[in-house]
Amino acid sequence: MLPLHVFEPRYRQMVADCLQGERWMVVAMLRPGWENDYEGRPPIHRVAGAGEIVHAEALGDGRFNILLDGRFRVRIEEEDPPGDRPYRVARARRLADVEAGAGAPAFADRLRGLRAAHGKLLTALGQGHADLVTRLTVAGAGPGTVIDRIVSAVVPDAAARQRALETLELDARLDLAVQALAELLSMVVGAQDDGEEDAEDG
């Protein structure tokens, strides 16, 4: 779930058009150098997330608060030339997870390890209550969904999230998630230990 506050005129128009249609839109990450052409058509990563607007609040001045439910990955294959619409329109192909190796016992063990690391991280951040953990890794969700929810919720580095988005192989995506969470957990716990030492010294 991605909450968005939409305030730029071109994106306000895009959301209004989406709401009048099938309520679907794609969110793509800008590539380095986007600052030089932000108002135009800056370079983007071709693998992006597609989702449905499941809630929209229209504000009095034309802005929107929306909630986008990410459903699947797409590869942007061709953009329409600039036309009457102020936002970009593209043709995209849906991408499926590659599950080779995902049924192996070792994969299941690593996925449990990811869930455990996620719980430890939330606890270290003071957010480790059961409701939040369950909401992110709800029973019945496939392994790809679990990995994606955890990465999107707790990994702050946009480049790391994009790498996970572009990794279709679940085995490799799990490795990326495990590494990212291990680094985060080490940083958080290390910072807390430093704070405790400072308090003792004081």
- List, for residues 129-158, the tens digit of each pLDDT value: 555 555 555 555 788 888 998 888 888 889
pLDDT, position 86: 92
Domain 2-95 architecture: Roll (2.30)
Please state the separation of Cα 84 from the chain's center in Å: 30
SS3 140: coil
> CA–CA separation, 120 vs 189, rounded Å?
10
Q: What span, in angstroms and rounded, lies between the C-alpha atoms of 11 and 56?
A: 13
CA distances from 128 to 97, 110, 121, 135 (A): 29, 20, 8, 12
Q: What is the pLDDT of residues 16-28, one digit of tens each?
A: 999 999 999 999 9
> CA–CA separation, 135 vs 127, rounded Å?
12
Place of tokens 């606890």: 123
Q: How far is CA 175 from the centre of its chain?
A: 17
**For 65-89, what is each residue's pLDDT tens digit?**
999 999 999 999 999 998 889 999 9
> Where are the domains positioned within the chain?
2-95, 105-201
Q: What is the arithmetic mean of pLDDT over 185-198? A: 65
Q: What is the pLDDT of residue 39?
A: 74
At residue 38, what are phi and psi to the nearest 5 degrees? -60, -40
What is the per-residue pLDDT for 145?
87
Q: What is the rounded CA–CA span in Å between residue 117 and residue 133?
A: 11
CA dist 167 and 52 (Å) reads 22
Checking if the pLDDT of 12 tops 70, the result is: yes
pTM reported for the whole predicted model: 0.80
CB 111 within 8 A of CB 141: no
Q: Which residue has the higher pLDDT, 162 or 122?
A: 162
Q: Is 25 exposed, middle or buried (0-12, 13-18, 19+ CB in 10 A)?
A: buried
Amino acid 99: pLDDT: 87
